[in-house]
A and B are shown apart, each in its own frame.
Chain A
């Protein structure tokens, strides 16, 4: 039976010329697991918000949405509150109260349950989600993953029939994200709760879904099971193809009579099958289409950069020790690290190993108690603030919103150059026009169409790029980034990588901390593995990842028995072609 049925639904925001959603027809069956995907800004969040009346934005609606056969508008708020559960993106913002137990009870309090029945439900939820250990804690003490789990649990306590999730893992690190997705699967499997979610981390969840819906430009493009959706995306050569799990991507380039795999396990069998029987061919057009992306336009603002010597490492840490207080344990332990000019260096490693602390040392937010840090061969402590941060280091904060001060994106960019007036000052002493520079930087960071918007109205990926653009206006020689790909969908990641390549061409050194193995494997020049306050190993991505057996890319895990050196999807395809 259909739990939710969307019929000929269109929606447009007030005073918008283009409709945000047009003519959408979708059925969500009871107990099904639905994933809605699409690039940022395609209208998938708008669609989800239509499924719960209190969250629906203002605008013109056409068509009807039915919940259990009844129009949604005729279902009262009380029923909607309990029957339709909605989890949003940001884990922090959804939490209302100060204690974990109170948060769990919040929805039930609103619905007017008695203390004894709330006690029962809260106890049930705490046990099911494994919250007992932190039941009495303050919510501020929780990690991001725990917070999002709490949000989920507090909604599940109301026993909803359908669970709607709007990119729930975009703010979480990959380990917490995959834990969270496992929990969603478990809920769907154990309780039969219908799940409707938008998600950009398709790797884990894609094979499990019963239905995939691809939205493009406010229209439904594809609807079907994962395999069908994958084939359709390939046929249409759609951008979202890059978001598919690696086994599916690899299989798409291959012409063979084998059924295309969804998981790593299937993928291994698939490869061994086709390689041993040698009855396949590789489609070349696809490779050229997606995998060879080049950064195009140059960055004018960097043309006036004075050259620095090439031999010396641009960033160097020598025997650096750090701890947060005298009585605390060491976080960074005798770290030696040197980064060459013009390379993209990725530091990988688990949570709490001291990666972010290392970054804070490099950006002089914290100071080591032993050891030295050199930037361009000069001790970091000898730089003046202005000198250090306006011509050497550019630090892109993990949360881009901590940089936004103005009403529009354009003013935001001008603000870095000391206002929109064309006159030289301390902040700005180049011969180029400010206007020209800003147009150029907007083009390179691909925010040129957004200049008149408010920074907070941008999507996560766009905000990230605006923050990057602001930092680039300071003309840094070294760019430090903490988890730059967090919350970006794969299409944006690709664009982001293009920006990094452009910067690299201009001699900018890029140092980033990341959990994103796939991204690092594709775009880094060197990768380092961080563990227990120190660097365990570092190498170029191919040797780095082929040397690991767990901490490696999906493509490598899938193909390693045949092609141990193949790390990315592209590598695997190349190997397959050679083998043919």
Chain B
């Protein structure tokens, strides 16, 4: 599902994911974890829909979380609040349990963010970003992305062709199977190399290799891109400054120590800036949906008031 945030310039999406994923990976403060998890999950909902999100997460992420949360107290024994002792004689402490849960949350929110990243940062956006820096690499990626599906397709054609002269790799003697398999690969290689000559001709005849090659892209950096970039930078600065004052400090060893709760002004600002940043895609998308609805209502009203009197 195409959401509104995906339609922004690739630089915006890339900056967003870079920030969010890096920060999520290093901050273990429970409030941050909660914010990040909540935002990643809601963005997943928007991108994949309820059904698919739940399916993905319940199947993979939830079991993963439980395993990590349980594994930590099994192998780590720091902390002062001993709850019980394992049969081996090692203590199970409250601190390790809490840390395990925090780590599991972090792990899972990073995965959730990556799921969003996959959907938003398509190959052409990625190519575009790196094409700016290294034009030849970006062309190479683009050619590879063209080449792999083509080879796969050729392989299918060859396999069918060989099957129809009784040289299948799916049954028969093992030696025959190997022989036929090698034959297929050999055909594919010859084919690919022969076709590469055509491709080289086509590239040269369109001037590839001339000096001063440029990289074209379909993306434009608009006013809204600039606006959202400024907002993102301001939020990021606020967050870093707030964080560096130390009022969002957290420690799990030897005792759990969480600063910033109850909320004071500084921590409140820091949390809010992080929340806004993480929720940006969701906010943008929801605002867009709201606007559409408002516009449509408006049209309906006008129609009713105006010429469609008979309805």
Contact = CB atoms under 8 A, between A and B. Distances in A.
Nearest to B168: A385
Contacts of A140: 146, 149-150, 153
Contact of A402 (B139, B158, B201, B207): B158
B145 interface: yes
A99 B207 contact: no
Interface stretch (A111-119, A428-436, A544-552): A111-119
B290 interface: no
Interface stretch (A76-84, A332-340, A486-494): A76-84
B22 interface: no
Main secondary structure on A side of the interface with B: helix
A471 interface: yes
Interface string A8-21: 00000000000000
Interface in A352-402: 360, 363, 365, 385-386, 388-390, 393-395, 397-399, 401-402
B243 interface: no
Contacts of B166: 385-386, 388-390, 474
A139 B208 CA distance: 20
A interface residue count range (under 10 / 10 to 19 / 20 to 34 / 35 or more): 35 or more
A404 B214 contact: no
B207 A111 contact: yes
A290 interface: no
A81 B203 contact: no
Interface stretch (B59-67, B184-192, B278-286): B184-192
Contacts of A395: 161, 164-165
Contacts of A154: 206
Nearest to B163: A365
Interface string B176-198: 00000001001100110011001
Contact of B213 (A88, A112, A390, A399): A112
A86 interface: yes
B311 interface: no
B103 to A, nearest CB: 39
A521 interface: no
Nearest to B123: A98
A90 B145 contact: no
A136 B153 CA distance: 21
A551 to B, nearest CB: 29
Most buried by A among B161, B209, B212: B161
Contacts of A98: 123-124, 142-143, 145-146
A113 B214 contact: yes
Interface string A86-106: 101010111111110110011
A109 interface: yes
Interface string B11-33: 00000000000000000000000
B216 interface: yes
Given A401-B191, A405-B186, A54 B204 contact: yes
Given A101-B218, A395-B164, A78 B142 contact: no
25 contacts: A55-B201, A55-B204, A55-B205, A88-B201, A88-B202, A93-B198, A96-B203, A98-B143, A99-B142, A109-B214, A110-B209, A110-B213, A138-B145, A158-B207, A389-B166, A394-B164, A395-B161, A402-B158, A402-B161, A402-B191, A404-B187, A405-B187, A416-B165, A456-B194, A471-B165
Given A54-B204, A97-B142, 10 more contacts: A77-B210, A94-B202, A107-B206, A119-B218, A139-B146, A155-B206, A365-B164, A388-B166, A395-B164, A403-B162
Interface of B: 123-124, 139, 142-143, 145-146, 149-150, 153-154, 157-158, 160-166, 168, 171-172, 183, 186-187, 190-191, 194-195, 198-199, 201-218
